[in-house]
Amino acid sequence: MGYRNKTYVAFDGDNDMWAYAFMKGWNAREHIDFNFHDAHTISELTYRAQDEYYIKSVLRELQKAAKQFIILVGESTKYLRKYVRWEIEFAINLNLPIIVANLNGINGIDRTLCPTPLRNQVAIHGPFKKAYIKQALDDFAAKYNTYLQKFSGPVHYNQTFH
Whether residue 71 contacts residue 98, with contact meaning beta carbons closer than 8 Å, is answered with yes
Q: What is the pLDDT of residues 77-100, one digit of tens each?
A: 999 988 899 999 999 999 999 999
Q: What is the pLDDT of residues 41-70, one digit of tens each?
A: 555 555 556 678 888 888 888 889 889 999
More confident residue, 97 or 4: 97
CA-CA distance, 122 to 119, in Å (whole number)? 9
- C-alpha closest to that of 23 among 9, 13, 12: 9
More confident residue, 90 or 162: 90
Whether residue 121 contacts residue 154, with contact meaning beta carbons closer than 8 Å, is answered with yes
- C-alpha closest to that of 40 among 77, 90, 78, 1: 90
Q: What is the pLDDT of residues 11-28, one digit of tens each?
A: 998 899 999 999 988 877
DSSP bridge partners of 131: none
More confident residue, 33 or 19: 19
Three-class HEC string of 14-82: CCCHHHHHHHHHHHHCCCCCCCCEECCCHHHHCCCCCCHHHHHHHHHHHHHHCCEEEEEECCCHHHCHH
Among residues of the chain, what percentage have pLDDT more than 70?
A: 84
Q: What is the pLDDT of residues 108-137, one digit of tens each?
A: 999 999 999 999 999 999 999 999 999 999
pLDDT at 2: 45
